[in-house]
Amino acid sequence: MSEANQLINLQDKVAIVTGAGRGVGRGISEVFAGAGANIVVAEINPEAAKETVDIVTGLGRRAIPVQTDVTKEESVNAMLKATLDAFGKLDILVNNVGGVIGKPRMIPIVEMALNHWDDVISLNLTSQFLCCKACIKHWIERKSKGAIVNIASLAAMVPYETSVAYGAAKAGVINLTATLGAVYGKQDIRVNCIAPGHVKTPITDDLYRGREEVRAAQDRIIPLSRYGNPDDIGKVAAFLASDASGYVTGQTLLVSGGMTYFLTKLP
């Protein structure tokens, strides 16, 4: 276990991380592995999953790729079965999958097609419902404790004109977290949430390529004067997944470099 993670002990825990093939999911997987966890890389893209598996195994931990579509209940159930077949247990679920559909752009609600709304809600909220449902049911049946870390967004808390559907879905994640934390605390199942601000990922790199002045302007309104890195989210997720936060449930932590309010307008 690395020195930086000695206080956050996930030694021999088994964690499912959805969307672990790149970006924040990969950062979470890497931090968890550094803290001693074995990782189920639940990812729809098999090539990206293999890259994360190689990173985790390079840190001396076990990892398996499981091709998963978290918007489909049968795929989520297969993900859980693959986890139990490989490791015999599950300790942690990180619901990381999410995002907008297509390139971020403002679609006024009066012009938004119902299928677009449904797709965004499915990717960001229904996926977390399905994964929480499967894992909580498993833990109750086994009478074992578990920890869930849901990933929401700062967009859940502020007007998010770029995607009203995305902001609404992420707000739903926060309420889902609070409700499940309250309902299942007596079964020793903790459910918490991270709401990231701007994070440097391949998606944001592509989005702002050639628009460095826009990114620099956004850096200036962040009190810590930079975008977050995936491992910034990973470190907080490791805390929430570990016994270090054993008396914390139903909570959402804002991890945004101090930026508590912003309006995003992307062309």
pLDDT one-digit tens code per residue, 19-46: 999 999 999 999 999 999 999 999 999 9
> To the nearest whole percent, how much of the chain has pLDDT over 90?
74
Domains of the chain, each with CATH number or no CATH: 3-198+230-246 (3.40.50.720)
CA–CA dist 113, 102 (Å, integer):
14
Q: How far is CA 124 from CA 190, 198, 223, in A?
A: 20, 17, 28
Q: Evaluate if residue 69 carries a pLDDT over 50.
A: yes
Output the pLDDT for position 226. Answer: 81
Output the pLDDT for position 163. Answer: 85
Q: Evaluate if residue 211 carries a pLDDT over 70.
A: no
* Average pLDDT along the chain: 90
* Cα 27 off chain centre by: 10
Report the pLDDT averaged over residues 236-252: 97
Residues designated catalytic = 166
Output the pLDDT for position 208. Answer: 57
Q: Evaluate if residue 205 carries a pLDDT over 90.
A: no
Put simply, whether the predicted model's pTM sits higher than 0.75 gets the answer: yes
Confidence of residue 159 (pLDDT cuts 50, 70, 90): confident
